[in-house]
Amino acid sequence: MKKLASLVIASVILAGTTLNLFAAEEAATTTQIPKASSLDELLATVKVARTADSALNKQRIKDFQAARTRQKSLLDNALAEEKRQERRTVTLKAQYDANEVKIAEMDDQLKLKSANLGEMFGVVRQVSLDTSQRIVGSVISAQFPGREVFLDELGARKELPTIVELQKLWIALQTEMTQSGKIVTFEGDVILGDGTKQTMSVTRVGVFNLLSDSGYVVYNTALGEMQALVRQPDAEFSDTVSSFIGSSAAMEGLAVDPSRGSLLRLLTQKKTTMERYHQGGLVGYVITALLAFGLIIVFERIIALTSIGSKIKKQAKSSTPGNNPLGRIMSIYQANRDLATDDLELKLDEAVLKETPKIERGVNIIKVLAAVSPLLGLLGTVTGMIATFQSITLFGTGDPKLMAGGISTALMTTVLGLISAIPLIFLHAIVSGKSKSIVHVLEEQSTGLLAEHAEKGA
């Protein structure tokens, strides 16, 4: 095919050259023949043209032979180049086949020599990536930041690790294991609740907690910085921090978060007692007001009834009427002792009835408050549940926390109602018992006076 292509190229070049010569000669002939005006001139012109054509044809043959010689030389050169390239092709193909065989042999040798190294490479990559993830989430990184950079690079590399890199991986693993069993105090920047950064002493307890003088500190793995909790957990946990930091004893108790800060963050979201109280809203405030009003009545009644009871006891030991219920009954008895027994009984009953409302004043109010408080709590719960279900209707149930939070808020009024009702019920029983006891003493004393009057009349 290459030889045929060379012949075609040479033929095209030769034909082009010949056509150019013919065109040039034709143009010259056309321009040289003049126009004849007679037959003699025409004959002479024909003879001249014939002689010119004969010379022109000879020149054409000569030019064609010269062009043919040149084209033959070009063709010979092209054929020689083709043969040279064919010989070179054979040589290169033989070299290519030899290289293929050599590469296959070297691949086999590489597989034999790097079989165990390939397995090691996979293990090193996996261990590097796993260790990097563990270090990123470890509170030890708060004291030693940036250790994961080398591990990430080692895990992403495609080449076999060097001895130095394997040693650095071993040191990283050993450092993490060693530091996990230490309690260390170091200086570090802590982001406070208001967003400011402050350098302070931080105590690291293994891989579990970070402590400062102000309480627990958490390590934000996403930002790579230490942050003070917005709110410390309950006192039962936070009180152990100060005692632990300031203790010089060999052993000291400390509340440890095994989740490395997750539980502490959840505890900060736990609502305090006052926050839960304010969740009760207007109904909760009304229940609190009723409880306060009831307690005021209870304390006033207990003080008053205790004073009345003490005066009655003293009056029972004295025959001189005083300014107390029993003294006033005795005054009525002494003023009407000349009456008949039946009439005197009516007078004494009337006196007891007059004293009874003063003694039992406020007892029924306490009872009503104890009954109304849980009803108000139930009212607040129902209205809260209605609001919760309205939110579910509008926004759906995609967020269970929304529904749980609404129900928790709604139930808070029930809790407040029960907290108000339970002590009021007990206090009502105490006040009611005291008042009934005093009334019973008055009835008993009036009955004794009637009996004494009846004995004298008999």
What count of Cα atoms within 13 Å lies in the side-chain half-sphere of residue 277?
A: 9
The tokens 């000349």 sit on which residue?
338
List the pLDDT tens digit at each of the 458 positions of the chain.
Answer: 444 444 444 444 444 444 444 444 444 444 445 565 677 677 777 777 778 778 888 888 888 888 888 888 888 898 899 999 999 999 999 999 999 999 999 888 877 776 666 677 788 888 888 888 888 888 888 888 888 888 888 888 877 788 888 888 889 889 888 888 888 888 888 888 778 888 888 888 888 888 888 888 888 888 888 888 877 777 777 777 777 877 777 777 787 777 777 777 777 777 777 888 888 888 889 999 999 999 999 999 999 999 988 888 888 888 788 888 888 888 888 888 778 878 888 888 888 888 888 888 889 999 999 999 999 999 988 888 887 788 777 777 666 666 776 777 788 899 999 999 999 999 999 999 999 998 898 888 888 888 877 877 65
Rg (CA), the chain: 59
The tokens 């300031």 sit on which residue?
246
Q: Is the overall model pTM greater than 0.75, yes or no?
A: no
Contact yes or no for 210/203 (Cβ under 8 A): yes
C-alpha distances (whole Å) from 318 to each of 107, 119, 135, 444 are 125, 109, 88, 16
Q: Which DSSP category does 139 fall into?
A: G
- Angle at CA of residue 228, ends 227 and 234, nearest 5°: 140
Burial category of 293 from C-beta neighbours within 10 Å (exposed 0-12, middle 13-18, buried 19 and up):
middle
Q: Which amino acid is at 184?
A: V
3-state secondary structure of 34: coil
The tokens 């003490």 sit on which residue?
310
**Which tokens belong to 52?**
């010119």
- Give the dihedral sign, CA 381/387/388/390: positive
Comparing CA positions, the residue from 224, 261, 217, 226 lying closest to residue 146 is 224
Contact yes or no for 187/201 (Cβ under 8 A): yes
